Chains A and B, each alone.
Chain A
């Protein structure tokens, strides 16, 4: 019977791998997700048939409660809230891994006490003890870290970069405490107080490691926590000698790391710089306001009627959406604009910067929800050369990702960050509510370029007005 169990686990592992492989194209992605769900379903069913599972009531209760909460969360969440949702889910996954390792520990402990009384010898292997500690450590950090990340995204934990004196020393001390505790634990594992101490310190570490990260850097934190939750699952696999857990966890761990690095590269910052707290520790120092040369010149603004004529005369348009579009709930107005322009025979494409939105690929989901066809969405490297022969670059709710200072101004905090070459288009239209600086706190010199026109107003209202003007032409 055990052999059947392990063969089904193998099938589940293969389904996970196939599932992720099919996520490689929007055509097959949904099927891929279903394959992975099937793998999970098989793994759970076959585990229920395991001969070690003797009572079912508690398991059923747990599964029912968890499924109900999961379904409700998944159906209620708005697409703009997806980063929070993923953050929360990471936390639950990491927490579950830590709890399983802890349960396994108490299991070993009671078994050990019994065996000790009978034979006076024995004890688990060192590798089991080490992985129990790792699983508890990583799982607990993921758990608390994710809830802090959730709080920052949701706005009930400060989104600011939190710094206090002795921050790094305190973190280093806590990590040493866990390591020291871990060593003591491996030498003599029959010390439940020690294990609970390690749980406590790991939970505190989870809070302190995520707290310093700025709100707008949360995408990186959430990606990294995603990776941690996978690694925690892998470690639990080591504890339980279960290959399927190790494989599934490793896949997720790799995925999280890759997304983390993509986000860091999109901001031209090292992972360390993000983890230690934001822009103001970057490069030239000082707060954003004072660093970088302040651009000067005249700003030209345009009204909806004039703008409609510019669009009408264009033959190619690239729209650059940023998180501001989502905040203003302007996705649908942007979709309408796309449809109107296309009806006039104008080519419309979207250029999406890797760090647009609040998590990797967030903007794409928001546009997909607004029924924009996915083949119109282009990544930075696929569209950046096309701005040269584009008539209009229309920037909606994005700012720093189109700031040309990143290309040439060495004193700018965003110098070196890959940007969308919007300024190479014949005309640049910037929709913004005011002249305020972007998230990096710096003025955008593109506002002052001779080919730039500012179109002031709330994105949703302003674009709806533009749409009406266009319809009348």
Chain B
């Protein structure tokens, strides 16, 4: 049953995504890509759970590498998107 709920959420979220993203004008497609890219770094949450366990195991090592990767994705994505969006001005 729990799996079914997860699938519900997944499918509905895809529909929300389609609705939202078809409304983004072509002018903003690059920032959309880098910004949404940053959001996909959300797996950092899973990585934190793996790296924060009490015992130091192989999962800890994998988790720490995952944190580094995901944080590059998150921080790099949001900062570069902000840098781009700052330039979009009506003059």
Residues of A bordering B, CB below 8 Å: 16-17, 19-21, 23-26, 29-30, 32-34, 36-37, 40, 43-44, 47-48, 50, 52-56, 58-59, 61-63, 65-67, 69-71, 73-75, 77, 79, 82, 85-86, 89-90, 92-93, 95-97, 99-100, 102-104, 106-107, 110, 125, 127, 222-223, 226, 229-230, 232-234, 236-256, 258-259, 262, 352, 354, 359-362, 364-365, 368-369, 371-375, 377, 379
- Give the CA-CA distance A129 to B78 in the complex, in Å: 32
- Give the CA-CA distance A222 to B36 in the complex, in Å: 13
- Give the CA-CA distance A34 to B46 in the complex, in Å: 22
Given A50-B49, A379-B25, A241 and B71 contact (CB-CB distance below 8 Å) = no
B32 to chain A: which residues have CB within 8 Å? Answer: 20, 23, 255, 259, 360-361
- Give the CA-CA distance A203 to B28 in the complex, in Å: 32
User: 4 additional contacts, CB 8 Å, given A103-B50, A250-B10?
Assistant: A67-B71, A251-B13, A362-B30, A371-B91
A258 to chain B: which residues have CB within 8 Å? Answer: 18, 21-22
The contact of A23 among B16, B24, B51, B67, by CB within 8 Å, is B24
Q: A255 touching B21 by the CB < 8 A rule?
A: yes
B71 to chain A: which residues have CB within 8 Å? Answer: 62-63, 65-67, 69-70
Q: B49 touching A53 by the CB < 8 A rule?
A: yes
Q: B78 touching A361 by the CB < 8 A rule?
A: no
Most chain A beta-carbon contacts within 10 A, residue among B42, B74, B82: B42
Q: A100 touching B10 by the CB < 8 A rule?
A: no
Q: A89 touching B88 by the CB < 8 A rule?
A: no
B37-56 vs A, Cβ < 8 Å mask (1 yes, 0 no): 11111111111111111100
A222 nearest in chain B by CB position: B33
30 examples of A-B residue contacts, CB within 8 angstroms: A24-B24, A29-B85, A30-B86, A40-B44, A62-B66, A63-B71, A65-B68, A67-B75, A70-B74, A75-B83, A86-B33, A89-B37, A89-B38, A89-B41, A89-B77, A92-B69, A92-B76, A96-B73, A103-B58, A103-B60, A107-B50, A233-B43, A251-B17, A252-B40, A254-B13, A254-B16, A255-B32, A255-B36, A359-B29, A364-B27
Most chain A beta-carbon contacts within 10 A, residue among B13, B29, B43, B65: B43
The minimal Cβ–Cβ distance linking B22 to chain A, given in whole angstroms, is 6
A364 to chain B: which residues have CB within 8 Å? Answer: 26-30, 88
The minimal Cβ–Cβ distance linking A104 to chain B, given in whole angstroms, is 7
Q: B31 touching A62 by the CB < 8 A rule?
A: no
- Give the CA-CA distance A230 to B18 in the complex, in Å: 13
Q: A96 touching B47 by the CB < 8 A rule?
A: yes
Q: B82 touching A93 by the CB < 8 A rule?
A: no
Residues of B bordering A, CB below 8 Å: 2-3, 6, 9-10, 13-14, 16-18, 20-54, 57-60, 62-91
Most chain A beta-carbon contacts within 10 A, residue among B10, B26, B47, B53: B26
Q: A99 touching B82 by the CB < 8 A rule?
A: no
Given A33-B85, A85-B80, A93-B40, A66 and B59 contact (CB-CB distance below 8 Å) = no
Q: A90 touching B76 by the CB < 8 A rule?
A: no
Q: B33 touching A36 by the CB < 8 A rule?
A: no
The minimal Cβ–Cβ distance linking A157 to chain B, given in whole angstroms, is 21
The minimal Cβ–Cβ distance linking A311 to chain B, given in whole angstroms, is 21
Q: B39 touching A373 by the CB < 8 A rule?
A: no
The minimal Cβ–Cβ distance linking B33 to chain A, given in whole angstroms, is 6
